[in-house]
Structure 1
Amino acid sequence: MRNGMHLDAERCARAVRSRDARFDGWFYTAVLSTGIYCRPSCPATTPKPENMVFHPSAAACQQAGFRACKRCRPDTTPGSPEWNERDDVVARAVRLISDGVVDREGVPGLAARLGYSTRQTERQLLAALGAGPLALARAQRAQTARMLIETTALNMADVAFAAGFSSVRSFNETVREVYALTPRQLRAKAVPAEAVPAEGVAGGTLSLRLPFRAPLNPDNLFGHLAATAVPGVEEWRDGAYRRTLRLPHGHGVVSLAPRPDHVVCRLTLTDLRDLTVAISRCRRLLDLDADPVAVDEQLRADPVLQPYVDKAPGRRVPRTVDEAEFAVRAVLGQQVSTAAARTHAARLVLAHGEPVDDPEGGLTHLFPSPEALAALDPEKLAMPRSRRGTLTNLVGRLADGSLRLGVDSDWSEARARLLELPGFGPWTVDVIAMRALGDPDAFLPTDLGIRRAARELGLPSTPGALTARAEAWRPWRAYAVQYLWATESHPINFLPV
């Protein structure tokens, strides 16, 4: 863990001198002599030590009056992994800001979701990130605006709207302040279209690149999503995972395809205001802000896991774009095969999902909302009575708000509330914690695939003994699960051809 690394000036300076890309996103270098800020791996001339100061976020640099470097583009780095490794109030606040809550509900809305006062929320974010919620949201809007300016043909009013600005005037002022250029100057200086991280806009579809920290092994990540895809909501087509998205202002369709140094993301949205939220949710789905070097270093220390980590490093945890949806699907997958779980989910989608139009493929519906599922007649569900009760209890709690599963969830509290529900045992709770809540240390000692892998590798196969053995893998046991699953020849471990 590198919590508060920006406070260790000597260590930061060493990372800058060695241009160490592993620290990109962990801290930012502000150069007093030039008034710009950079990522640690910036290829420009290394500043003198006395001219460097370090900040924990791009927003803090901007708030201190520094402009983004035009060479290393520090505002385009993957986000700090720290905020996906924790569930304290700061981490939950950062995730909510990324999900657009400040833009939609303001700082009071953010604070209310966290259960803190506005003043307490601002104070904690300022202490941890050097910037308050408004500054963090503004930095996110500026980054989205720059991407759209440089890589699409959208007119500037549409760029401002899509990036989340309340007016064209505030958009113009922010871009000039952050980048020292007007929006039109920024577009004029952009490199040729074939070299920029997007393919522009065609037929209402935006295409862009999602960066990540290398290495990234796409096999289990995309293999899992493709193998468990619910017909009508998800599909694997032409080398890409595609799915529908339920978003704050409408719906969308996304296509995600792995490449050696990025993920190609094609988004079709009914409302451009959802762009930033859609990008954030896709990054979360693919676990793109993870720190694979730190994860693999820890797991590689175990001689049993070492050969598997060395063979295919950089495994990610496949997550979700909708926590409530995943919880429902986890219940549908209790004690049945992957194929049976897909069949149950597909029936719910056809009967209760909201229809959408997909001109490019075979996607037909949004996954049913908890409210829609709570209104259905449980007797019409083609599943055992006990599982019908488990499902109706779950969707009822999700619909009335007594159970909250989202980026703002306190992981311990969510686990406790799930365990209170009839039919929820350790496997269901842990798989929701791993893939919906995003807990990097969630573990599945009762999973049949994990127990088979444990026996094959000479590890204890009983849940209690395996859990004790897995203490050495903390805080990355969810990633250890991916390596253990990969010892089998199940379709989840392979990219479809």
Structure 2
Amino acid sequence: MLLDADACYRAVQSRDRRFDGVFYTAVRTTRIYCRPSCPARTPHAANVTFHRTAAAAQAAGYRACKRCLPDATPGSPEWDLAASVAGRAMRLIADGVVDREGVAGLAERLGYSARHLTRLLTAELGAGPLALARARRAQTARTLLETTTLSHADVAFAAGFASVRQFNDTVREVYAATPTELRGRRASTRSTGGTLRLRLAVRTPFAGRALHAFLIGHAVPGVETGGDGWFARTLDLPHGPGTVRLDLADAPAAGETAFVTAAFTLSDLRDTTAAVERARRLLDADCDPVAVDTALGGDPVLGPLVATTPGLRVAGHVDGDELAVRTVVGQQVSVAGASTVLGRLVAEHGTPVATGIPGLTHLFPRPASLAEVDPETLPMPRSRGRAIAGLAGALATGEIRLDRGTDRADVRAGLMGLPGIGPWTADYVALRALGHPDVFLPGDVGVRRALTALGHPAADGTDWAPWRSYALMHLWHSLPDTASRRAA
């Protein structure tokens, strides 16, 4: 896909931070690529080219700017908005699928041959899956070098490189510096004691306190916990269990890049990439809040809500399978009631883990385990127990995949084909597990109450496309806790 060079250059001239991560500016005379907001002197228009990904700029022979660190930006919000093959591929690459399964594994998940997928991504993003994965590894390696005391070998394997030599060569090529030089470049608080402390970039405004309230309000005992300004949970990662703790605060300055501090404890460093990506999903870190707030802020119903809570995020999830099970359990009961039932489910069928964080004791039960449980023994009505068993079986066999790599329409049709799952459940899964930005739940009790309280009970959400998911969150957020924590 071609970028509009004139529009891109205007964004560079104004140093507009909203476009950081949406495209990259490469300067022919210096052979450096930057983010649009780079504070360096604006290059002449004749000397620049624009690229949709950092990988495309690297493949064209440019190295990353040492001043603006263009690869350390939130991802493009277009990947979630369009949900194209390129966007779905980028999500899986960010989760480390290429590192674990190769290009063939990525292509199989997306339903294409490896050769055809490479052609599609090159045409859309300017780089194939190997180059995109390499750029992601380089960015992870730089972050770990600058913020942790891990050895170079540990950094290499945590970032997904196959060897230390490959790691050294890539870092030198991308950053024009050795790993040792990168490590000494920035004075920062470094992680020690088996915990990786990283900063996750988010666009502003960022309503961190509202996101914190949502996550704490929906926490499942044993799997999730939190306190004043922080939220933590266990992670079931490809190579072993882990935990993440997030410090969530508001960042009101619009158009800037803010950072959420995340502390990861991993049993295997190879899961670093996957853990970071799943934490970013939870934060809705790639959202463009200025675009969302501009679209919804002028609406007579939502305008006052947007003004009260700018930068409200759609709380994502770290595991689509877990979220789907939780959603079915929560049908037609309060969130508090669902949390109680889910806590029992976790205690009986989850995997115990030692985390060092009070309240975090288990991994959520995997679908394969729940598929083997007699539905009659589950602590819920029989019909819902059978729905859980059917859903768990479909997830365990791969009949339904909730890894953001499958087409959203196919996922919805698959879920709706299972007994006990209706439109509300399928759409709520799309909202939080698949990162769909345009979901509305007109039958939800909380939504109806919010609209009635606002004096617009007949609103159906059509005027709020393509950001209906954010409209939904504003409506829920407008209600008192006891009222908003209801499911239709």
TM-score normalised according to structure 1 size: 0.94
Matched, 1:27 2:26: no
Q: Percent identity, aligned pairs only? A: 58
Mapping 1:364-383, distance limit 5 Å? 364-383=361-380
Matched, 1:69 2:65: yes
Structure 2 CA distance, aligned partners of 1:487 and 1:169?
A: 54
CA positional deviation for 1:471: 1.4
State the partner residue of 1:196: none
Matched, 1:205 2:200: no
In the alignment, structure 2 segments of 5+ residues that lack a partner are 252-257
Task: Call closer, same or farther: CA 1:134–1:113 in 2, change over 3 Å.
Answer: same
Alpha-carbon deviations, 1:314-339, whole Å to 9, x = none? 11000110001001000110111111
Q: What's the secondary structure of 2:203's corresponding residue?
A: coil
State the partner residue of 2:293: 296
Q: Residue type of the partner of 2:120?
A: Q
CA positional deviation for 1:383: 1.3
Residues 247 and 277 in structure 1, CA contact (< 8 A), matched pair in contact too: yes
Which of 440, 456, 478 lines up with 2:469 in the alignment?
478
Residues 224 and 492 in structure 1, CA contact (< 8 A), matched pair in contact too: no
Matched, 1:451 2:442: no
Which of 464, 481, 487 lines up with 2:478 in the alignment?
487
Q: What's the secondary structure of 2:202's corresponding residue?
A: coil
Residues 208 and 266 in structure 1, CA contact (< 8 A), matched pair in contact too: yes
Structure 1 CA distance, aligned partners of 2:297 and 2:473?
A: 13
Q: Residue type of the partner of 2:123?
A: A
Matched, 1:401 2:398: yes
State the partner residue of 1:436: 433
Which of 112, 122, 128 lines up with 1:126 in the alignment?
122
Which of 124, 133, 138 lines up with 2:134 in the alignment?
138
Mapping 1:271-286, distance limit 5 Å? 271-286=268-283
Mapping 1:336-347, distance limit 5 Å? 336-347=333-344
CA positional deviation for 1:371: 0.5
Alpha-carbon deviations, 1:105-147, whole Å to 9, x = none? 1111111111111111001100111000000000000000001
Structure 2 CA distance, aligned partners of 1:491 and 1:75?
A: 42
Alpha-carbon deviations, 1:235-256, whole Å to 9, x = none? 0135310000000111101001
Q: Residue type of the partner of 2:356?
A: P
Structure 2 CA distance, aligned partners of 1:7 and 1:230?
A: 44
Task: Call closer, same or farther: CA 1:310–1:239 in 2, change over 3 Å.
Answer: closer
Residues 220 and 482 in structure 1, CA contact (< 8 A), matched pair in contact too: no
State the partner residue of 2:161: 165
Residues 232 and 363 in structure 1, CA contact (< 8 A), matched pair in contact too: yes
State the partner residue of 1:236: 226
State the partner residue of 2:44: 48
Give the RMSD, CA atoms, in angstroms: 1.4
Residues 55 and 127 in structure 2, CA contact (< 8 A), matched pair in contact too: yes
Residues 233 and 367 in structure 1, CA contact (< 8 A), matched pair in contact too: yes
Which of 398, 406, 410 lines up with 2:407 in the alignment?
410
Q: Residue type of the partner of 1:86?
A: A
Bigger shift: residues 174-183 or 211-220: 211-220
State the partner residue of 2:241: 251
Structure 2 CA distance, aligned partners of 1:313 and 1:403?
A: 35
Q: What's the secondary structure of 2:292's corresponding residue?
A: helix
Residues 209 and 229 in structure 2, CA contact (< 8 A), matched pair in contact too: no
Task: Call closer, same or farther: CA 1:493–1:170 in 2, change over 3 Å.
Answer: farther
Residues 212 and 229 in structure 2, CA contact (< 8 A), matched pair in contact too: no
Alpha-carbon deviations, 1:335-373, whole Å to 9, x = none? 111111001101111111011101132210000000011
Q: What's the secondary structure of 2:433's corresponding residue?
A: helix
Q: Residue type of the partner of 1:412?
A: A
Alpha-carbon deviations, 1:443-484, whole Å to 9, x = none? 1101101001111122234xxxx33xx211111100000111
Structure 2 CA distance, aligned partners of 1:8 and 1:379?
A: 59
Structure 1 CA distance, aligned partners of 2:394 and 2:101?
A: 23
Residues 315 and 482 in structure 1, CA contact (< 8 A), matched pair in contact too: yes
Structure 1 CA distance, aligned partners of 2:229 and 2:204?
A: 21
CA positional deviation for 1:405: 1.6
State the partner residue of 1:318: 315
Structure 1 CA distance, aligned partners of 2:53 and 2:483?
A: 36
CA positional deviation for 1:22: 0.7
Task: Call closer, same or farther: CA 1:415–1:227 in 2, change over 3 Å.
Answer: same
State the partner residue of 1:80: 76
Structure 2 CA distance, aligned partners of 1:137 and 1:156?
A: 19
Q: Residue type of the partner of 1:61?
A: A
Structure 2 CA distance, aligned partners of 1:492 and 1:147?
A: 42
Structure 2 CA distance, aligned partners of 1:424 and 1:142?
A: 42
Structure 1 CA distance, aligned partners of 2:9 and 2:396?
A: 50
Q: What's the secondary structure of 1:236's corresponding residue?
A: strand
CA positional deviation for 1:220: 2.8
State the partner residue of 1:427: 424
Residues 87 and 409 in structure 1, CA contact (< 8 A), matched pair in contact too: no
CA positional deviation for 1:430: 1.3
CA positional deviation for 1:202: 2.2
Q: What's the secondary structure of 1:211's corresponding residue?
A: strand
Mapping 1:165-204, distance limit 5 Å? 165-188=161-184, 190-193=185-188, 199-204=189-194
Residues 148 and 154 in structure 1, CA contact (< 8 A), matched pair in contact too: yes
State the partner residue of 2:105: 109
Residues 223 and 493 in structure 1, CA contact (< 8 A), matched pair in contact too: no
Task: Call closer, same or farther: CA 1:145–1:488 in 2, change over 3 Å.
Answer: same
Bigger shift: residues 399-408 or 268-277: 399-408
State the partner residue of 2:207: 217
Structure 2 CA distance, aligned partners of 1:13 and 1:88?
A: 25
Q: What's the secondary structure of 1:437's corresponding residue?
A: coil
4+ aligned runs moved over 4 Å, structure 1? 491-494
Task: Call closer, same or farther: CA 1:256–1:118 in 2, change over 3 Å.
Answer: same
Structure 2 CA distance, aligned partners of 1:492 and 1:402?
A: 36
State the partner residue of 2:254: none
Structure 2 CA distance, aligned partners of 1:89 and 1:250?
A: 29
Q: Residue type of the partner of 1:80?
A: S
Structure 1 CA distance, aligned partners of 2:310 and 2:450?
A: 18
